[in-house]
A and B are shown apart, each in its own frame.
Chain A
Amino acid sequence: MNALLLKFRDRKVRDIFWQVLASLALVAVVAFFVKNASDNMVKAGIASGFNFLWRDSGIEVPFNLTGYKPSDTIWALLWTGIVNTILVSVASVFLATVVGFSVGLMRLSHNWLLSTLAAVYIEFVRNIPLLFFVLFWYFGVLAALPTPKESFDFLGIIFLNRRGLSIPTPNDVSGFHLALLAILVLIVAQIALARWARARQARTGQDFPVWAAGFVLCGALPLLALVAAGAATSWDQPILRGFNYRGGFVLVPEFVALFMALSTYTAGFIAEVVRGGIQSVRQGQIDAARALGLTQGRVIRLVVIPQAMPVIIPPITSQYLNLVKNSSFGAAIAYPEIVAVFMGSALVATGQAIEIIAITLGIYLTIGLAVSVFMNWYNARHKLVTR
């Protein structure tokens, strides 16, 4: 007994003892829950397993890009939900970034009015729950829109009413495929050009207007290609028939509400990140750049942005990740994303609670893992080298 006590004084022995005890407790708790769950499921007559994924779903999804029909499998339903989640996330990330950067820069403006307006915007969206904005856009703003007969019309081709946003779609997309291919080629060309210009500058000291060239290569030419592709095909235009618009593609109000709420809300957070990142660049750096005679534009492009970006990118990535997770708020207004169609409709239809929850959480965790792998890679690559 005494020898045992003496052994317990040894830190290594004690460490092992506590870890074994902790893992035993953990295993016991998990086993208790699993046993209860399997008992309860047997009692309720629910078979476990993932076979239900290949059953017919019979669930209607009003908004889908996958061509899903209620006679398809539950797996197809899940896929439709995933596509809808990706659609609203990508669209919102885009708008949130644009608005967020603009507001963040406005916040730093020396113009008192402009920076105060930006501050009001930031404090407004950051201190109100996102669900509030989602409901507000859906039931407050979009429900107050006019009926299809009195739609707002933009140039006679895009129509906004309480049934959603109707936009024309091309009848033949092959021209767009070619244009997309051309754009990809141009982007590769731009990267090659930038590398060549940098190498030449290092060798000879000669400058090359990479940005101007890039604007033509990646901005103007693709636009031309898209316009040409658009002109080459006929368009399916939304036309008022009876009580609603037919033809074209309808972005349902659920999408518009979620998109507006997500992007304006996240923009407030991105603005703060941008402000913090730019403020983290020390004034001495800017003064030194000015002393070297660089113009204001070059100071920003060559000194401020390269130092601010490594500070901005990691928190902005986690804001993007938050946005993807927050797209699940669509469930509150029945936008058919993953949670609404899978954790909601499919779960009610099949009763396979554990499997469905596991799959849903698995999808979000996978997205999160992918983003954090990317972030580690980025941080390792862009670590500021100080000499």
Chain B
Amino acid sequence: MKTAAPPLPGWIAILRQRLFSTWLDTAVSLLCLYVVWRVSLPLVDWLLVEANWKGQSREDCTSRGACWVFIRARFAQFMYGQYPVPERWRVDLLGLLVLFAGIALSWRGLPRRKEMAIAAAIILPPLGIWFLHGGLGLKIVETREWGGLMLTLFLAIYAGLIAVPLGILLALGRRSRLPLIRFASVVFIEFWRGVPIITVIFLASLLLPLIMPTGFNVDRLARAVIGLAFVIAAYMAEAVRGGLQALPEGQTEAAQALGLGYWRITRLIVLPQALRISLPAMTNEFISLFKSTTLVLIVSIFDLLGIAQAALADPAWVGMNMEAYVFAGAIYWFACFGLSQWSRLQEKRLQAAHGR
């Protein structure tokens, strides 16, 4: 071995060490640079430099870059689908309300934060359905007119609202003392985890009307929400089980010694700690739920991706495939990437709190 060369100043040393330490390394780095150059240049060219931004119709797209005019013209559809234009303020208002509640509740200094959170969890979901669907003074908007990003968010949030409590119950059931409850939970979890989500959405849309009493109509969208919720609940249950298993046995035993019953131990001792541990895993399951909502396309419900797909059929905008996909894909990517970064942050905080 040679003696190491004296350290070079600053960034040159770093570059040399991390990119050009050996001949092979140099070759690899140069190859990478070449790939980046060949891929990113045309991409930036198409996305930004040569792109068309202004105009109303296809004729305004004259240069060879992307035709963002198309996204502009159809932006409202990407957001709301066929939701009637005069009623769209309801969606906006609900969005603002949820956003406001979310920000307020994540502020740690909020007085009576716990009570407020419970109140929001009880009030907001039915309020949301009333806002979007109408009735009681608001004009009714059938679910088949819903679409776009609004529908994607609706599916993810409402399926999540069912899946989280159901998943927690299933996880508790799986670790129950009672063999029958344990067995039922295991069968439920493994069944839904074992089948593709597409088949579940098919199953929900075909079987739910069949197993309900005649004349009782389950809304098309509700079927999709229920199907998604069941599958994600099974995955959530496994995430929560991880948290339950990570909790030392002594916690429960100490609570038992204090004379607490099962439900009080679960509510006051076990769940608060276990859920904190499984929060990152649960967030990851929520990300996969968010991605799975795209599958409702199969039963002709037009979420964000479905609207993008439907837009390709518009004769006034032939050949806008790439623009539609890039726009929809970017929204999914930012949402999922943001969530996964948040989940990583939670994990780090957790590790810091445990001093590991």
* A and B pair up: yes
Given A113-B29, A136-B325, A40:B214 Cβ within 8 A? yes
Between A and B, how many residue pairs show CB distances below 8 Å?
146
Given A111-B25, A130-B291, A331:B203 Cβ within 8 A? no
Tell me the chain A residues, 331-387 only, with Cβ under 8 Å from chain B.
331-332, 339, 343, 347, 353-354, 357, 360-361, 364-365, 368-369
Tell me the chain A residues, 98-157 only, with Cβ under 8 Å from chain B.
109-114, 117, 123-124, 126-132, 135-136, 139-140, 143-144
Asked if A18 is at the interface (CB within 8 A of a chain B CB), the reply is yes
- A347 / chain B contacts, CB cutoff of 8 Å: 206
Asked if B124 is at the interface (CB within 8 A of a chain A CB), the reply is no
- A18 / chain B contacts, CB cutoff of 8 Å: 178, 181
The CA of A325 and the CA of B337, in the complex, are separated in Å by 24
A328's contact among B198, B287, B332, by CB below 8 Å, is which?
A: B198
Asked if B46 is at the interface (CB within 8 A of a chain A CB), the reply is no
Given A112-B19, A114-B32, A131:B295 Cβ within 8 A? yes
B206's contact among A19, A124, A357, by CB below 8 Å, is which?
A: A357
Check A339–B196 contact: CB distance below 8 A.
Answer: yes
The CA of A139 and the CA of B197, in the complex, are separated in Å by 22
B305's contact among A33, A131, A357, A365, by CB below 8 Å, is which?
A: A131
- Shortest Cβ distance from A30 into B: residue: B211
Tell me the dominant secondary structure on chain A's binding face.
helix
A131's contact among B202, B211, B297, by CB below 8 Å, is which?
A: B297
Asked if B184 is at the interface (CB within 8 A of a chain A CB), the reply is yes
With both chains docked as a complex, state the minimum distance between the C-beta of B2 and any C-beta of chain A, in angstroms: 17
- B178 / chain A contacts, CB cutoff of 8 Å: 15, 18-19, 22
- A28 / chain B contacts, CB cutoff of 8 Å: none
Check B333–A332 contact: CB distance below 8 A.
Answer: no
Check B298–A331 contact: CB distance below 8 A.
Answer: yes
A129's contact among B179, B194, B291, by CB below 8 Å, is which?
A: B291
Check B312–A353 contact: CB distance below 8 A.
Answer: no
Asked if B62 is at the interface (CB within 8 A of a chain A CB), the reply is no
Given A15-B177, A127-B340, A139-B309, A132:B18 Cβ within 8 A? no
Asked if A192 is at the interface (CB within 8 A of a chain B CB), the reply is no
The CA of A33 and the CA of B210, in the complex, are separated in Å by 8
Asked if A329 is at the interface (CB within 8 A of a chain B CB), the reply is yes
Asked if B266 is at the interface (CB within 8 A of a chain A CB), the reply is no
With both chains docked as a complex, state the minimum distance between the C-beta of B264 and any C-beta of chain A, in angstroms: 16
Asked if A37 is at the interface (CB within 8 A of a chain B CB), the reply is yes
Tell me the chain B residues, 99-156 only, with Cβ under 8 Å from chain A.
none
Check A128–B210 contact: CB distance below 8 A.
Answer: no
Asked if A326 is at the interface (CB within 8 A of a chain B CB), the reply is yes
The CA of A37 and the CA of B295, in the complex, are separated in Å by 26
With both chains docked as a complex, state the minimum distance between the C-beta of B23 and any C-beta of chain A, in angstroms: 13
With both chains docked as a complex, state the minimum distance between the C-beta of A229 and any C-beta of chain B, in angstroms: 37
- B28 / chain A contacts, CB cutoff of 8 Å: 109, 111, 113-114
Check B195–A339 contact: CB distance below 8 A.
Answer: no
- Shortest Cβ distance from A326 into B: residue: B196
Check B196–A23 contact: CB distance below 8 A.
Answer: no
Tell me the chain B residues, 300-321 only, with Cβ under 8 Å from chain A.
305, 309, 312, 321
- A15 / chain B contacts, CB cutoff of 8 Å: 177-178
Check A325–B196 contact: CB distance below 8 A.
Answer: yes
Tell me the chain B residues, 144-184 only, with Cβ under 8 Å from chain A.
177-181, 184
With both chains docked as a complex, state the minimum distance between the C-beta of A130 and any C-beta of chain B, in angstroms: 7
With both chains docked as a complex, state the minimum distance between the C-beta of A290 and any C-beta of chain B, in angstroms: 12
- A325 / chain B contacts, CB cutoff of 8 Å: 195-197
Tell me the chain B residues, 40-79 only, with Cβ under 8 Å from chain A.
none
Check A22–B180 contact: CB distance below 8 A.
Answer: yes
Shortest Cβ-Cβ A-B pairs, 8 listed:
A127-B336, A129-B291, A33-B211, A325-B196, A328-B196, A113-B32, A368-B194, A112-B18
- A sample of 7 inter-chain contacts (CB < 8 A) reads A39-B214, A111-B19, A135-B309, A144-B321, A326-B196, A353-B210, A357-B202
> Residues of B at under 8 Å CB distance from A?
18-19, 21, 25, 28-29, 32-33, 35-36, 177-181, 184, 191, 193-199, 202-203, 206-207, 209-214, 287, 291-292, 294-295, 297-298, 305, 309, 312, 321-322, 325, 328-329, 332-333, 336-337, 340
Extra inter-chain contacts (13) besides given A40-B209, A111-B28, A126-B340, CB under 8 Å: A22-B178, A23-B180, A36-B211, A126-B336, A128-B291, A129-B294, A139-B312, A329-B198, A353-B206, A357-B207, A360-B199, A361-B195, A368-B193
